[in-house]
Structure 1
Amino acid sequence: MNTHSLFDKFRIGPWLILAIITSIAVGFLYPHQLGVLLWSLTKLCWGAYLGYWIDRSMFPYARPGAWVDSDADRPLLPLFMLRRVIIIAAAILALGLGV
């Protein structure tokens, strides 16, 4: 098994552990806030999911992954990735600030 690919899968692990620890701390210190925390996380996840699919539906032929193998269009790859980030961030902000 490739150790490098295994490490790539768990590189976000420390942030996940920190999120779990802080959620447990909120549960012990302020148990009445767990519903608010869950609602906020739900909106965040839905915003990320909807933003991704909004980008895919608006730009079906300009997906970042399709341009990785093409050397001729390599300068456009960062722009495609930036476009996706902006759309997903806008969806997350819209849901986070909306309700």
Structure 2
Amino acid sequence: MPESNAPSPENGQPIVTPAAPGKSDDVLARLDTLAGRFESFLKTVAPGTLKSTGTGADGADAASTSLASRLTPRMLACLFLAGVLVAGLAIVSPQQLPVAGYKLCLVVLAGLLGYWLDRWLFPYARPDGYLAREWRAHGRDYPDSEADYAVVPGYETVFAAALLRRALVVLGAMLGLGLGL
């Protein structure tokens, strides 16, 4: 016998029922639809940035790959783990979600600040200045025996030091902001 004060369509309140075990296909279909919409948005905003993998009438690639298929397994595992941790935080202590978001924003801003500090402090010793070729000027069509982005011969140690210097400046900014607040 149903209770008289239970939500029903007659009183205008929606009926909320827990998801059935077979509803995960619905969620996956929705996620795929959202990923497709995001891809089409990217195509309109920045055309030519997405690679095509389908075959067209002329035998060339015409359709684009899905966003999920381009994620590497390592990054997909990290994304899944982050989602599980956020869901766990939401279940255990939902009032901490804004605090976690605030801290995440601070860490990202500190990373950007550290990057720009390095660029401002060392304008003539940027790590990409030691590469043999401009890294944006070519694709990744190197043979297996050659590095993706070759360093000028004789500057390998200086290149490594510039990379470590930038990493330490960014780390210092992130630690300083994270420990200071």
The interval holding the TM-score normalised by the smaller chain is: 0.7 to 0.9
Q: Is the 8 A contact 1:68 1:74 kept in 2?
A: no
Runs of 4+ in 1 over 4 A off after TM superposition: none
- Aligned residues, how many? 94
Asked which structure has the greater CA Rg, the reply is: 2
Q: Does 1:83 align with 2:146?
A: no
Query: CA RMSD of the aligned region, Å?
Result: 2.0
Percent identity over the alignment?
A: 32
Normalising by structure 1, we get a TM-score of 0.83
Q: CA deviation at 1:13?
A: 3.3
Q: CA deviation at 1:9?
A: 6.7
Q: CA deviation at 1:20?
A: 2.0
- The 2-side partners of 1:50 and 1:96 are apart by 13
Corresponding residue to 1:74 among 144, 156, 165: 156
- The 2-side partners of 1:79 and 1:9 are apart by 31
User: Which stretches in structure 1 are left out of the alignment for 5+ residues?
Assistant: 2-7
1:5 alignment partner in structure 2 = none
The structure carrying a bigger helix percent of its residues is: 1
User: Which stretches in structure 2 are left out of the alignment for 5+ residues?
Assistant: 1-50, 52-69, 133-151
- The structure whose RCO (Cα within 8 Å, separation 6+) is larger is 1
- The 1-side partners of 2:71 and 2:118 are apart by 24
